[in-house]
Amino acid sequence: MTLKFIKNGVNFMKIITLATSLCGLSSNHALAASIPAPKEDEQLASQSGSQTIVLAGGCFWGVQAVFQHTKGVTKAISGYAGGSADTAHYEMIGTGKTGHAEVVKVTYDPSKITLGKILKIYFAVAHNPTELNHQGYDVGTQYRSAIFYSNPEQKRISESYINQLNQDKVFSDPIVTTLEALNEFYQAEDYHQDYVKSHPGNPYVARNDLPKIVNLEKEFPELYVK
Query: Which residues make beta-bridge pairs with 78?
Result: 104
Selected catalytic residue, list 59, 88, 101, 147: 59
**Segments of 87-137 assigned E as strands:** 101-108, 134-135
Q: Is 89 left (phi over 0), alpha (psi -120 to 50) or beta?
A: beta
Q: Are 102 and 60 a contacting pair, CB within 8 Å?
A: yes
From the list 194, 196, 199, 192, the residue with the least C-alpha distance to 1 is 199
From the list 186, 181, 188, 147, the residue with the least C-alpha distance to 55 is 147
The rounded radius of gyration (Å) of the Cα atoms in the chain is: 17
Does residue 79 sit in helix, strand or coil?
strand
Q: Which helix (H) or strand (E) holds 160?
A: helix 152-167
Does residue 211 sit in helix, strand or coil?
helix
Known catalytic membership, residue 23: no
Q: Which helix (H) or strand (E) holds 60?
A: helix 60-68
Catalytically annotated residues: 59
